[in-house]
Amino acid sequence: MKGSTYKRCKCPAVYDARGRRRNCRKDHGAWYYVADVGTGPDGKRKQVRKGGFRTADDAEKALAELLARVGEGTYTHDEGVTVAQWLARWLDMKERAGLRPATLRAYRSHITLYLEPRLGRLRLRDLRPSHVDRLLADLANGTRKAATVRRVHATLRSALSSAVKQRLVTFNAAKDIELPKAERPKARPWEPAELGAFLDSVGTHRLGALFEVIAGTGMRRGEAVGLRWEDVDLARRIIVVRQQVVQESGRKKNKQPPAPCPYCDAGHLGVSFGKPKTASGENRVIDLDEGTVGALIAHRLRQDEERKQWGDAYADHGLVFAREDGNPLRPDEVTKLFVALVDAAGLRRVRLHDLRHGQASLMLAAGVELAIVSKRLGHSSIAITSDTYSHLLGGVGRDAADRASALIPRARRTAPDAATLGERDHLVTTPAADGASKPGADPNEPPLMQVNEGPEVDGSGRPCGTRTHNQRIKSPEKSMPPTPGRCFLPPLRLVSMARADARSTLPPAGASPSAHASLTQQPRRPDFRPTAYGVPLYTDELLPRTDPALSRRLSPPPVRISTASAESPRERLGGRL
């Protein structure tokens, strides 16, 4: 691409006595540049001309930047387009792409009410994150909720993303913006008793089966209103979701032409037929329970009577739920009817969409797998089902954990009860006085070693075999080498054992010695097994052994702690606890 610079002055021409034109002062006038920027849509050459530069260097610098943008492909011929002009073009693009009417109405509302009045006059190239941040701050400080602010921002961000793709701008000014936190409203469906009371109260209404279907299948409101008899198989107890009734804007429904109807030539005001909300929800098969099938059969008989009464004036669209003359229902009319029926039944007010949440809650409570629930509801992904109903999956998670644990073969074990865990004085097991082996023990097993009770301590007050000084154990005993038959448990376990024995040995304040002696002389539980840091000291009953001989060679003999010593814990520890 080529370009050039030149100087231009708007001063009137001044001539001397000889008729020659006089030049202006050197500091007078302005510098301009002109550059070729390619060809337009019509194939003709396009030139850009810009002036107002005070020096030739400024004009040359601006020309170089322009030619660099043209060479990189970031320059467009719509440099002067405003935000309002681009939003209008973007909305037309979305409408031609077949965007859902409800989403299109939301985009148009955001542009008309919030974006165009505040940002419409700005050039698209001049839009900065500060402008977007100021707009959202004004909305948040006003009467708009955080959810509305986030939706307006999402609309602007989507429009600017399309502008970046078309090289109108080099960055998205709405991409990195701090947004207010909006809490998603939690579903509060009815309890099963409340739902049953409502369905019983509307059983005689001409549209009672409609609410029976929504509550029993989890269908969306528009899907239930758009259900046709050809998509219902009462013999097989299934329905197929193929379409939905879409509601047009409430304010402009009377100003717009009737929407075309695939089932009649007249068309309808305010409603139209369209595909389900998600691609995964289209053509999905939903099984019916016996109660819903019975309600549909009764509704079919009532509808046949209405068709006979209307005669030729009946506009048959093949709909399961329609007006008395056969025309489609408006979704907002169904919502108003639902609210009136709830108030008449004296029940807690919920949304019509909460019947769908209630169906999902009942299925999850019954243990239905999450993938089946997601497919039945028509969600676009199982992640949406998990995020929406994660608070209802606690029992399902516990059941899954139990099922997975049941697949692991383990030896039979008996968990200690609460009483065992609370008895501190049973930390040490008393062996049989005659030294007999335990019932059921292997006769070839080596005899249990008798272990002297009490820790080995050195002159510094720490147990032998440890590196950390224990300030709670002080003993004047001198260091002695370890002897065979001594058991070295971790120091914390020794301290807890000593404290427990001391508490069980020393009488409490105000108690008689005789009463305390009767409590401390109770026999210890023979089935209790002490542990050290979670490792059982008795391993012959807790761990399965496939080969007793191999197990004896690989594992050390079990250890039993003896309490036959007549010394009290206070005497064994040198009188200091």
pLDDT mean by block of 10 residues, the chain; 577 residues: 77 74 73 78 76 83 81 68 93 88 89 94 92 93 89 95 88 90 80 92 94 93 94 94 81 57 74 85 90 94 93 91 92 94 94 90 85 88 80 59 73 57 46 46 48 47 51 46 45 46 50 48 46 43 45 49 49 49
Are both 237 and 129 inside the same structural domain? no
- Kindly state the greatest CA–CA separation across the chain: 146
Identify the bridge partners of residue 135 per DSSP, sorted by sequence position: none
Answer whether residue 559 is part of any domain.
yes
pLDDT in the model for residue 77: 61
Q: What is the pTM of this model?
A: 0.57
CA 491-492-493 angle, 5° bins: 90
Are both 496 and 456 inside the same structural domain? yes
Cα separation of 399 and 416, whole Å? Answer: 23
Answer whether residue 209 is part of any domain.
yes
| 147 φψ region: left (φ > 0), alpha (ψ -120 to 50), beta (else) | alpha
CATH number at 226 reads: 1.10.443.10
Q: Is the dihedral of CA 186, 191, 194, 197 positive or negative?
A: positive
Answer for the pair 501, 428: CB distance below 8 angstroms, yes or no.
yes
Kindly calculate the radius of gyration of the chain based on its CA atoms and give it in whole angstroms: 43
The length of the chain is: 577
Are both 231 and 356 inside the same structural domain? yes
Q: Is 184 helix (H, G, I), strand (E, B) or coil?
A: coil
pLDDT in the model for residue 156: 96
Are both 349 and 275 inside the same structural domain? yes
DSSP alpha helix (H) spans, 80-220: 83-96, 101-110, 116-119, 129-141, 146-165, 192-201, 208-217
Are both 343 and 196 inside the same structural domain? yes
Query: Where among 25, 42, 72 does a domain terminate?
Result: 72
pLDDT in the model for residue 255: 52
DSSP 8-state assignment for residue 82: B
Q: Which structural domain range is residue 26 located in?
A: 3-72
Measured from the Cβ of residue 132, the count of other Cβ atoms closer than 10 Å reads: 24
Answer whether residue 295 is part of any domain.
yes
Answer whether residue 563 is part of any domain.
yes
pLDDT in the model for residue 109: 93
Q: Is 492 helix (H, G, I), strand (E, B) or coil?
A: helix
Answer whether residue 324 is part of any domain.
yes
Are both 442 and 575 inside the same structural domain? yes
Distance between alpha carbon 570 and the CA centroid of its chain, in Å?
58
CATH number at 154 reads: 1.10.150
Answer whether residue 187 is part of any domain.
no
Distance between alpha carbon 404 and the CA centroid of its chain, in Å?
25
Are both 49 and 112 inside the same structural domain? no
Are both 458 and 348 inside the same structural domain? no
Are both 232 and 327 inside the same structural domain? yes
> How many domains does the chain contain in total?
4
pLDDT in the model for residue 169: 87
pLDDT in the model for residue 398: 64
The sheet with strand 45-53 has its strands ordered as: 3-8, 30-39, 45-53
Are both 324 and 388 inside the same structural domain? yes
Q: Is 39 helix (H, G, I), strand (E, B) or coil?
A: strand
Answer for the pair 44, 74: CB distance below 8 angstroms, yes or no.
no
Answer whether residue 405 is part of any domain.
no
Nearest alpha-carbon partner for 198 in 348, 365, 321? 348
Answer whether residue 560 is part of any domain.
yes
Are both 356 and 264 inside the same structural domain? yes
Distance between alpha carbon 251 and the CA centroid of its chain, in Å?
35
DSSP 8-state assignment for residue 231: G
Query: Where among 376, 392, 408 does a domain terminate?
Result: 392
pLDDT in the model for residue 132: 94
Query: Where among 39, 72, 105 does a domain terminate?
Result: 72
Answer for the pair 156, 174: CB distance below 8 angstroms, yes or no.
yes
Answer for the pair 245, 321: CB distance below 8 angstroms, yes or no.
no
Using alpha carbons, list the distances in angstroms from residue 45 to 66, 167, 204, 286.
16, 20, 75, 61
pLDDT in the model for residue 453: 45
Helix, strand, coil tally for the chain in percent (to 5): 40, 10, 45
Cα separation of 475 and 563, whole Å? Answer: 20
pLDDT in the model for residue 507: 53
Are both 382 and 295 inside the same structural domain? yes
Measured from the Cβ of residue 42, the count of other Cβ atoms closer than 10 Å reads: 6
Cα separation of 417 and 411, whole Å? Answer: 19
Nearest alpha-carbon partner for 504 in 420, 566, 425, 421? 425
pLDDT in the model for residue 568: 53
